[in-house]
Amino acid sequence: MKPLCSAADPCSRNSLNSNLQKVRVLHVDDETGFLTTTKQILEFQKVFHVQTASSVTEATQKLGETEFDVIVSDYQMPGKDGLTFLKELRETGSNIPFILFTGKGREEVAIKALNFGADYYINKVGNPETVYSQLSHYIFNALQNRQAEERLKYKVEFESVIVRISSRFVNPVDFDEAINSSLAEMGQISDASRVYIFLLQKNETALDNTYEWCAKGVTPQIERLQNLPVEVIPWWMKQLRDGNIIHVKDVSLMSPEAKAEKEILENQDIKSVIVLPLTVSGELAGFIGFDNVERLGAWSSDDVALLQIVSELIGSSLERKRTEQQLKESEKRHRLLEENNTDVTFIQDLDLNVKYVSPSVEVLSGYTPEEVMKLGPKFLMTEESFESGLADFKEALFAAEKNPDVELPFRRYEYVCKDGSKAWGEFKPKLLRDSNGHFVGIQGTLRDVTERKRAEDALRQEHEMLELFTANIGAGLTIISKDYKILWANKFFRKSCGDVTGKTCYSVYRDRASVCSGCGAKEIFETGKEHVVSEQLVSVSGGQLTWVQLIANPIKDKNGEIVAVSELSVCVNERKQMESRLQDAEQRYRALFDKAPLGILIVDSNGIAVEFNDQAHRQLGYSREEFEKLTVFDYEVVETRDETIARMQQILKSGKDLFETKHRTKRGEIRDILNTVHVIVMDGKQFFHVITRDITEQKKAEKTIHDLAKFPSENPNPVLRIAKDGTILYSNAIAQKYGCNHKEGVPEVIMNSVVSSLRSGCIEDVEVECGDQTFSFVVAPIPEADYVNIYGRNITAFKAASDLLDKTMNELVLINEKLDVVGKLTRHDARNKLSIIVNNVYLAKQQLANNNGIVNYFDAISSAVDQIENLFSFARIYEMLGAEDLTYVDVKRCVDEAASLFSGMDAIHLVNGCSGLKVLADSLLRQFFYNLIDDSLKHGGHVSQIKVYFKEGSGHLKLVYEDNGVGIPEDEKEKIFKEGYGKGTGYGLYLIRKMCAAYGWTIQETGMPGKGAQFTITIPKLDKNAKMAYTLVN
């Protein structure tokens, strides 16, 4: 239940060293040699214990057998890969820290891993000292982050336990059940072996273990620990009587003065213990504590706080229980006094002199009647009570003068007994009149209510404590009796609904005369259910109606009988309003859009489609999720952004419009569109209701007919006119040559199109093979004349070329796939072997650090491995150039993702000014920015800021990357883009220029030497296929 480490003792490298603990690491990689060297390097640091697995299957098995602190995993492995392993872990609820430790060129995998819940991504290729230093650092960071999360979860659960325990002591019907349930929750959240309460016997000479909770497998001790004499634990009792907390981290190290206590604890196999005094009315009544039979160590401040809170609650409840018992005993005594006429009767004159007092006054106060009459009320009452009584007397006279029949209320005053003690008396006064009706004095009966007053004060204090515990839960809490009357309500509820004590819940909630339909309290009383949740529309102060969720739970007596219900009320107005809005929106959506055969959109003044039907996004080839991110400016082709905005403003004035335009599909195809637009108003705002109709095919048919509509006899392609019944009304020479004549008739496939086009009135296309030739025919119906005009085109050569092209492309794709697979496998396996070489070199250098000659040889080996790695990286990226279809890529996200792959970016301020910019590119765009950042970090000197932004010009956009490093000399501004040039591999900027060429961009270094590097990338507005090369979304 507890977090991995407490806030006062965080897990860190230092604390691990000092506590001789080791981080348990599970390393998963299919290369056994790499597993071996990584284990040696990590365990060399003395703070790690590493177990290895060569597959996800083996790793899963080990996780089921052994507990680990962190997983370090490769990505590419036989069977399941590292991402699948991570995803399965998170789906099963495991939040164990997970670090992806894989080869270079896995940046896209790293992004996915971080999205799946990985803690870090580390490139295992590189200088071992750097790689394993970073790996160690990330392992500790991941542990500390996870511990912080666990700490937060624990805090929330801790507070929930406090609320639940507090609610149990709101007028508990079964006091023992309330304590036992609370001890169980305390033990579970604190990981204690036992939680217990000891209470002093009445003579305070012995203790009884009255309540106990034990964890699973722990032997109960409650039967053995009854009637325990206090003298056998003198040190323990002294600490408790002094109000001290007994906190023993290790029982075996207890001081000699606690020898007796140590022996008792060790006989119970207790390793550590914490105990707090339990007080009632300021006096020691016993103690409450935790112990552990499995582990040593300090108990946390949360454990202490939990014990203190529960100690106060139980102490207060015990005090209330005792007070209630005393009250019952007091009432019993009062009944006996009443039966024996122990009430005091007295008569006073208008000056409040006592003229008569009954003999029973001596039983109550110790004074004889004569002493009472001599001393008078001012001497016998406390000063405050006397002043209050004097005011009450004057008020009674005033009220009686106005209404002779007025009934005076009961009054309570504090008086002083003969032995100096104070007591409370309650009396019912009655005004005396003479025969003329004039007031002459007052008569009353006095009854001692001291014990009742104390009990009431104790109950009031208990209610005040309950108010304190429930004041900040942000919800109403009430206790409802079987007759549906509210016995108690917290301050939050009273603030919303006023003083409700004694009122029925249904009159408070709904102003009803009977129980509400669906009442949770009623369901519990009738069925005995343990938990009922319902929702009601209730009336709060001022008559305002609001939706609340009512959570009802039974309150039972010691026999298990339900005697009342606790009901938690939580306002759910906002949720209800949201549900209503969602329902209305859904109904409107179905009514307007679902069945429409045309694209329908509701567009706001910013060009954003706030609602649209499926046809709207399908006709442009987008998914619903993709389309809702676009604006009309993103797919409009004919008009510029400014022209479209001007048209929108004009439509707002005129109220409607009908116009043709062109839209670009997701694949870059240009489609002819007919837009019908009307201005509508929703929620007080103006929107455009747009109906879009794709008329591309209609346009093509019109153009085809126009191109083919030459004089039939001169047309080198087949031209026919065919009647509805199949009669050939006309066919030119070329049509007759290929069988369309009066003798041979019309081919069946063409005749089918004749019939269907005349029926639909739509132009149709049909492809027909005539011998060794293939023709494409356009069938244009003339419905009013019951015939069609047919125009043909010979596409034999085109078909042959198309088939050959498809065959060639399929062969190229197959060859490219083979090369890609071979390249990836070769690089993966070779990199693993290189990593093993580098790791072994590192281990050897540690052992031979004093032999400079051998160390130099090792350095040369490491340098050669680095160069091979760089060549592999270059080959991977170069193979990918031009291999993917270009799509619109979010520039800001690519910059952020590229920066996230560098561990050294913490000290660098990244200014990413590319929000809303998407460019036509592929997945290599992230590598593009990665190379630029890598160049800044390696060659920029003391770079403290990197900035990426854009500027739109006429017909182009300039994307600018700059840093504030040392800059690039004038004579090197072009050389840096050449293959092999520079201090590093010579491939980073060379690849960047190649990427630009693939995208149709240009790049130049435009910075000032000494003031930082600046790379300006120019992106034309349209690419080579006349497709928008970038889009901007405000």
**Residue 71's CB: how many other CB atoms inside 10 A?**
26
Where are any strands of DSSP class E within 624-669?
656-664
d(CA 210, CA 878): 78
Architecture of the domain spanning 471-570? 2-Layer Sandwich (3.30)
839-873 per-residue burial string, b: 16 or more CB within 10 A, e: under 16: bbbbbbbeeeeeeeeeeeebeeebeebbeebbebb
What's the pLDDT score for residue 15? 42
23-28 and 48-53 strand pairing: parallel
Q: Nearest Cα to 86, choosing from 70, 67, 76, 73?
A: 73
Q: Report helix, strand or coil for 516.
A: coil
Exposure on the CB side of residue 168, measured as CA atoms within 13 A = 20
According to the model, what pLDDT value does residue 5 have?
44
Give the pairing type, strands 945-952 and 909-913.
parallel
> What pLDDT does residue 884 have?
78
The whole-number pLDDT of residue 798 equals 78
How far is Cα 392 from Cα 411, in angstroms, rounded to an integer?
A: 9
Of 789, 791, 755, 794, the C-alpha closest to 774 is 794
- pLDDT in the model for residue 986: 59
Which is it for strands 70-73 and 98-102: parallel, antiparallel or unpaired? parallel
Residue 417 Ramachandran class (φ > 0 left, ψ -120 to 50 alpha, else beta): beta
C-alpha of 182 from chain center: 29
Task: Report the distance separating Cα 124 and Cα 221, nearest Å.
Answer: 55
CA–CA distance, 812 with 815 (Å, rounded to integer): 5
CATH 3.30.450.20 residue spans of the chain: 341-455, 471-570, 593-694, 698-794
Partnered with residue 990 across adjacent β-strands are none
Q: What is the CATH number of domain 593-694?
A: 3.30.450.20
Position 879 scores a pLDDT of: 59
The list of the chain residues with pLDDT below 70 reads 1-20, 104-107, 327, 330-342, 455-456, 459-460, 462-463, 466, 469-473, 540-543, 582, 585-596, 701-715, 741-744, 805-806, 808-883, 903-904, 982-987, 1034
Q: What is 881-1032's CATH topology?
A: Heat Shock Protein 90 (3.30.565)
Q: What does the alpha-carbon distance between residue 466 and residue 490 come to, in Å, rounded to a whole number?
A: 8
3-state secondary structure 887-933: EEEEHHHHHHHHHHCCHHHCCCEEEEECCCEEEEECCCHHHHHHHHH
Residues 904, 929: contact at Cβ < 8 Å? Answer: no
Burial 510-543 (b: 16+ CB within 10 A, else e): beeeeebeebbbbebbeeeeeebebebebbbeee
Sheet holding 1030-1032, edge to edge: 887-890, 917-921, 1030-1032
Taking the C-alpha atoms of residue 378 and residue 348, their distance in angstroms, rounded to an integer, is: 13
- pLDDT value for 513: 78
- CATH number assigned to the domain with residue range 341-455, chosen from the 4 options 3.90.1150.10, 3.30.450.20, 3.20.20.70, 1.10.760.10: 3.30.450.20
pLDDT per residue as tens digits for the range 875-916: 555 556 666 788 999 999 999 988 887 766 778 999 999 999
Phi, psi (5° rounding) for residue 381?
A: -95, 155
Tokens of 68: 């680990």
- CATH superfamily to which 698-794 belongs: PAS domain (3.30.450.20)
For the chain, give every residue range classified as CATH 3.40.50.2300. 13-157
Token pair of 91, please? 């789906």
Question: What is the architecture, at CATH level 2, of domain 181-327?
Answer: 2-Layer Sandwich (3.30)
CB 265 within 8 Å of CB 273: yes
**DSSP string of 191-245, one letter each residue:** T-SEEEEEEE-TTSSEEEEEEEEE-TTPPP-TTTSSSEEGGGSHHHHHHHHTT--
Q: In the chain, which segments carry CATH 3.30.565.10? A: 881-1032
Strands 562-571 and 545-556: antiparallel
CB hemisphere CA count around 847 (13 angstroms): 9
Tokens of 547: 């939706």
**Strand arrangement of the beta sheet that strand 246-248 belongs to:** 228-229, 206-214, 194-200, 283-292, 272-280, 246-248
What is the predicted pLDDT for the residue at 1018?
95
Fold of the domain built from segment(s) 13-157 = Rossmann fold (3.40.50)
The pLDDT assigned to 13 comes to 42
Give 923-989 as a DSSP string.
TTHHHHHHHHHHHHHHHSSS--EEEEEEEE-SSEEEEEEEESSS---GGGTTGGGSTT-SSS-S-HH
CA distances from 13 to 46, 729, 864, 1002 (A): 10, 96, 34, 49
DSSP secondary structure, 452-485, as one string: HHHHHHHHHHHHHHHHHHHTTSSSEEEEEETTSB
